[in-house]
Structure 1
Amino acid sequence: MSVGLVVGESAPDFTLRDQFGADVALSSFRGRKSVLLLFYPFAFSGVCTGELHQVRERLAEFVTFDTEVLALSCDPMFSLRAYADSDGLNFPLLSDFWPHGEVARAYEVFDEQSGCPCRSSYVVDREGRLTWAVHNAVSVGRDLDEHLVQLRAAAEA
């Protein structure tokens, strides 16, 4: 299975609800911030929890005046609220619940067999272009240092 969009293309825009029920549109960052999109399979699962804890611990490195991080799963908004509250996750967790996986499909990272996104990441620059992507096996956590390098590069471009 081929996974993911081609770097250099325009990032598909979307509006999803975060864990508080607020709408978050990717296009709202255009012209202002580069965005790191973290697609993850399931809230409360082991690898995902470990990754998102690491993002939480390093949030000041990820979120600046020039950069933003958005984590996306197909979990319902209320599950994401419980997840954020229980794990102290203080950045946007976006629900791609309904239509189920629509945004993950637009980014070509939806796993039809499992009904969830693949463990994929994209960096979107201020102009809305995809500048970097990586797709990990579901059981393999991300290299957050490399994510930071790529996010900063997009912000400085």
Structure 2
Amino acid sequence: MKAKQIRFFSQNENSETKQSKTKTEAKPTPATGYISTAGKVVFPNKTIDQLGFDPQDSWFKVGTQEGKRKIKSLFLVPGTSGQEEVFELEKAAKSYSISLPYILQKGGIDYSNTKHTFTVKPFDYDGNVQGFELKLASDTPKAAYTGKPRGRKRAAATAEQNTVT
């Protein structure tokens, strides 16, 4: 046997002190929230802490992507109380919320019948302002496709038809 094919052990590999596993760093959980049945965008206290802004004096401009009919994500950009297009973050029992029932309804979100959740991701707005993107997700599964099948027929289906006739 050649010397290159043999792996020799050391004394350290045979002791228990060396065998401790290294801890892997836990991935940070994404900041999340939901839309209530009353049409409020709700941020739990945990999400507010993760985002790192003062909820007592928070005003936000709320918007969506221009040119889209259905809302897939909302954008929150910090503003001041004197501005015209801002919404106030209101305190609830264990969360903070922004009331947007008519905007959500016009955007095609059925919040009264379906529970919608969102993940919050920070983004840079105009270079020096940090805004937040709320990417919406629905809890209901997608409806099954009921249309006519397209494309080539399967080989198994054609083989069964040939044997029957």
TMscore range, shorter length: under 0.3
* TM-score, L = length of structure 2: 0.27
Q: Name the structure where strand makes up a greater proportion of residues.
A: 2
TM-score (norm 1): 0.27
Instruction: Please identify which structure carries the higher helix content.
Output: 1
Whichever of the two has the greater Rg, that structure is 2
Higher relative contact order (CA 8 A, sep 6+): 1
